[in-house]
Amino acid sequence: MKPVLDGTVALVTGASSGIGAATAAALAGHGAAVALAARRTGRLEEVAASIREQGGTALVLESDITDEQQAAGAVERTVSELGRLDTLINNAGVMLLGPAASAPLAEWQRMVDLNVLGLLFCAHAAVPHLLRAAADGPRRVADMVNISSVAGRTARNGSGVYNLTKHGVGAFSESLRQELATRYVRVSLVEPGATATELASHNRPEVLDAIRSQFGQRMEAEDIADAISYIVTRPRHVAVNEMLIRPTEQER
């Protein structure tokens, strides 16, 4: 039997590490040709090499998606080099925590630039291609999966701007879902809890010290990739709108 995503093409942003790298591998395992976007090409090449070793197709796209042209360029190169776009995984994100009162404004800007604007740039460029894939693609359905967080549901002391960006991702996703639903572009929201990736490591050392004590049980990136794979492999008449996934021991 053919793998379910055979003949389709997926673009994964933030594919150089963590959830994005695991998702790219998982989608390739389901038969999709995968375009990998991020800034660190060396890391993307490693992910691509491992996909190719398993018999998959992978395209490396060096892109800083906070730049509108590079975001649109990643989408356009996916289509020009792999032939189409059926699945966009809007995964790239950054989480910079700490008290708002003393926060460097540059950190807030980085989060808004990537988590909100970067995602919007990719979504905007991808929608026409996703509509085309849904109209005449091999599965007659297309997917945009936007990665939010538990932080997109509940705001906490010390993570206000990250909360803001992820709540925004949730609002945009629900609106776009309603807009595209009858044209068979499914827009899904995935809200992971604590997952063992590089995400927290970008915080200032004093913030890292403060949040380290909160680290409890964590999921693996592959656990989230598995959830994303479930969403995009559903039959055409089933749309998983939202998935909130925590490590079992995570209370809030």
Ligand X SMILES: NC(=O)c1ccc[n+]([C@@H]2O[C@H](COP(=O)([O-])OP(=O)(O)OC[C@H]3O[C@@H](n4cnc5c(N)ncnc54)[C@H](OP(=O)(O)O)[C@@H]3O)[C@@H](O)[C@H]2O)c1
By the rule CB under 6 A, 91 interacts with ligand X = yes
Instruction: Please count the CA atoms within 13 angstroms of the CA of 138 that sit on its side-chain side.
Output: 16
Of the two residues 12 and 134, which places its CB atom closer to ligand X in the complex? 12
The token pair at 45 is: 């090449």
Of the two residues 38 and 60, which places its CB atom closer to ligand X in the complex? 38
Select from 11, 47, 51, 93 the one that contacts ligand X (CB under 6 A). Answer: 93
Q: Residue 238: is it exposed, middle or buried by C-beta count within 10 angstroms (0-12/13-18/19+)?
A: exposed
Q: 38-67: which residues touch ligand X (CB under 6 A)?
A: 38-40, 43, 63-66
Q: Are 90 and 13 in contact (CB under 8 A)?
A: yes
162, 200, 224, 228: the active-site residue:
162
The token pair at 104 is: 């460097």
- The DSSP line for 64-119 is -TTSHHHHHHHHHHHHHHHS---EEEE-------S-GGG--HHHHHHHIIIIIIIH
Min dist CB 184 to ligand X, Å, is 25
Return the closest-CA partner of residue 23 out of 94, 87, 96.
87
By the rule CB under 6 A, 123 interacts with ligand X = no
x/- letters, 190..229, toward ligand X (CB under 6 A): --x-xx-xxx---------------------x--------
Active site (annotated) includes residue 162: yes
Instruction: Please count the CA atoms within 13 angstroms of the CA of 248 that sit on its side-chain side.
Output: 0
Min dist CB 1 to ligand X, Å, is 31
Min dist CB 193 to ligand X, Å, is 6
Give contact residues for ligand X (rule: CB under 6 A): 13-20, 38-40, 43, 63-66, 91-95, 114, 118, 147, 149, 192, 194-195, 197-199, 221
Q: Would you please indicate which residues are annotated as catalytic (active-site) residues? A: 162
